[in-house]
Amino acid sequence: MRRPDARFAAPAERLCSTLRHRNETVAAAESCTGGWLGREITGIPGASDVFWGSVVAYADDAKTKLAGVPPELISRHGAVSAEVAEALATGIRRRSGSDWAVSVTGVAGPAGGSPEKPVGTVWIGTAGPAGTSSRLVIATGDREDVRATAVGAALESLLEAVEGVAAGNRGERG
């Protein structure tokens, strides 16, 4: 049986603890990570207090049906884009009723990259009370490395958003 990845235990614990203390919840929409982010969060005892769940929206049609991403947004910008990452986060936050949401969409490889979006291109979206933002991550290594980098970046981005609001920085996001 695989255990949660030790690299992600501390940020996942900090996320759960912070949200629990504030009586808030989080949801996720994952594409290239295929549920790995949800696995790391649910590896924390008591995560059910704060974690609504994670939707694996791998295909473009799943992004539309499960998270409400407009198909024309995917057509215009591509599934791996800031616009789609933000729409995924906003959509899953709205559909789940969670206070916070995070999304991951990227090119994990080994195929599927392009000159504009090479393998390792990952967009992370966060949505919360202060608004929505996105972050580009360029990961290196093989498929597993890219996916692990994406999980770490998603936890980091979400913590920055949640803790930024906790510190009273509501005006910085949006």
Nearest C-alpha neighbor of 125 from the set 115, 112, 135: 135
Position 67 pLDDT exceeds 60: yes
Position 172 pLDDT exceeds 70: no
d(CA 143, CA 110): 6
Q: pLDDT tens digits, residue range 7-18?
A: 999 999 999 999
Q: pLDDT tens digits, residue range 5-50?
A: 889 999 999 999 999 999 999 999 999 999 999 999 999 999 999 9
Q: Which CATH number fits domain 6-168: 3.90.950.20, 3.30.710.10, 3.40.50.720, 3.40.120.10?
A: 3.90.950.20
> Residues 92, 56: contact at Cβ < 8 Å?
no
The rounded mean pLDDT for the chain is 93
Percent of the chain surpassing pLDDT 70: 93
Q: pTM of the entire structure?
A: 0.92
Q: Tell me the mean pLDDT in the region 152-173.
A: 77
Q: pLDDT tens digits, residue range 112-129?
A: 999 999 999 999 999 999
Residue 5's pLDDT is what? 83
> Residues 117, 109: contact at Cβ < 8 Å?
no
Q: Tell me the mean pLDDT in the region 84-112.
A: 97
Residue 168's pLDDT is what? 53
Q: pLDDT band for 170, please (50, 70, 90 cuts).
A: very low
Sign of the torsion angle spanned by Cα atoms 108, 147, 32, 34: positive
Q: Where are the domains of the chain?
A: 6-168
Position 3 pLDDT exceeds 80: no
